[in-house]
Structure 1
Amino acid sequence: MREILIRSGEVAIRARLLDTPTANRIWENLPIYANARTWGEEIYFEAPVENVREPDARDVVEAGEIAFWPDGVAIAIGFGPTPISRKGEIRLVSPCNIWAQALDDVRQLRGVHAGEHIAIIEADS
Structure 2
Amino acid sequence: MDSRSDLRVVVGDRELTATWADGAPETRVALEDTLPVSSDATRWGDELYISASLEAPLEDGREVVPEGAIAYWPAGEKLCLFWGPTPASVDDEPRAAAPVTVVARVDETEPLVGLDGGAELRLERAGDP
Structure 1 length-normalised TM:
0.86
- What are the ranges of 5 or more consecutive residues in structure 1 without an aligned counterpart? none
Which whole-Å CA distance do the structure 1 matches of 2:111 and 2:95 have between them? Answer: 15
Which whole-Å CA distance do the structure 2 matches of 1:61 and 1:67 have between them? Answer: 8
Q: Does 1:93 align with 2:97?
A: yes
C-alpha RMSD of matched pairs (Å): 2.0
Match of 2:57 among 52, 58, 80: 52
Task: Look up the match of 2:10.
Answer: 7
Identity %: 28
Write the deviation string for residues 61-100 of structure 1: whole angstroms up to 9, x where unpaired: 1102211111211111111111111113211000000101
1:36–1:113 contact (8 Å) kept in structure 2: no
- What are the ranges of 5 or more consecutive residues in structure 2 without an aligned counterpart? none
Q: Say if 1:109 and 1:12 are closer, same or farther in 2 by CA, change over 3 A.
A: farther
Which whole-Å CA distance do the structure 1 matches of 2:86 and 2:123 have between them? Answer: 23
The alignment covers a number of residue pairs equal to 123
1:7–1:119 contact (8 Å) kept in structure 2: yes
1:11–1:109 contact (8 Å) kept in structure 2: no
Offset, 1:18 = 2.9
Task: Look up the match of 1:25.
Answer: 30
Offset, 1:110 = 4.4
